[in-house]
Amino acid sequence: MFNTVFWVLAIWFVVNVVWMWFKLDDHKLQKTFAWINVCAIIIGFCVYYMVDHASGGIAGWFIAINWINIVVAALQFYYGYRNQSAGNVHHAGSN
**What pLDDT is recorded for position 26?**
85
Does residue 94 fall inside a structural domain? no
Q: What is the pLDDT of residues 3-50, one digit of tens each?
A: 888 899 999 999 999 988 888 788 888 899 999 999 999 999 999 999
> Which residues form the domain of 18?
1-41+70-82
Q: Which residue has the higher pLDDT, 76 or 86?
A: 76
User: pTM above 0.85?
Assistant: no
Does residue 48 fall inside a structural domain? no
Does residue 64 fall inside a structural domain? no
CA quadruple 21, 22, 24, 30: dihedral sign = negative
Task: Calculate the CA 76 to chain-centre distance.
Answer: 7
Q: What is the pLDDT of residues 44-77, one digit of tens each?
A: 999 999 988 777 788 889 899 999 999 999 999 9
Instruction: Tell me how far apart the alpha carbons of residues 90 and 17 are, in angstroms, rounded to a whole number.
Output: 34
Residue 73: other Cβ atoms inside 10 A: 22
Does residue 46 fall inside a structural domain? no
